[in-house]
Amino acid sequence: MIDSASDEPALSFEVALARLEKIVHRLEAGDATLEESIDLYTEGQRLKQHCEGKLAGAAARIEAIVVGSDGRAAGVTPFDAG
C-alpha cells in the first residue's frame, strides 16, 4: 500500500498500474473488510489519478513530424489526440 500521495510521483506508470490492478481484483473478490475496502478504494483513486497524469504527460511529449511538400521533414507539431 502506498503510504501517502508523496510516494506516488516516484512510481513508474507500470508499477502504479500493476498495483491498481491488484486493488481492483481484491475489491472485486469481496474478501476485504469494509475498512480495508475503503482504504483500497482511496489508494486506487490516487493511483488512477497518478496513471492518468503519467499518460497525459507522455501524450504532451509526443510530437508528429511535419512533412514538407518536398517529402522531407519540415518540423514537428504537438500531439493532438482529438
Q: Between 63 and 41, whose confidence is greater? A: 41
Consecutive H or E run containing 65: strand 63-67
Average predicted confidence (pLDDT) for the chain: 85
Section 13-31 average pLDDT: 97
CB atoms within 10 A of CB 40: 17
Section 28-37 average pLDDT: 96
Number of domains in the chain: 1
**Domain with 57 in it:** 5-78
Determine the 3-state secondary structure of 73 from DSSP: strand
Instruction: Find the CATH number of the domain harbouring 50.
Output: 1.10.287
62-80 per-position pLDDT tens digit: 777 777 788 887 777 776 6
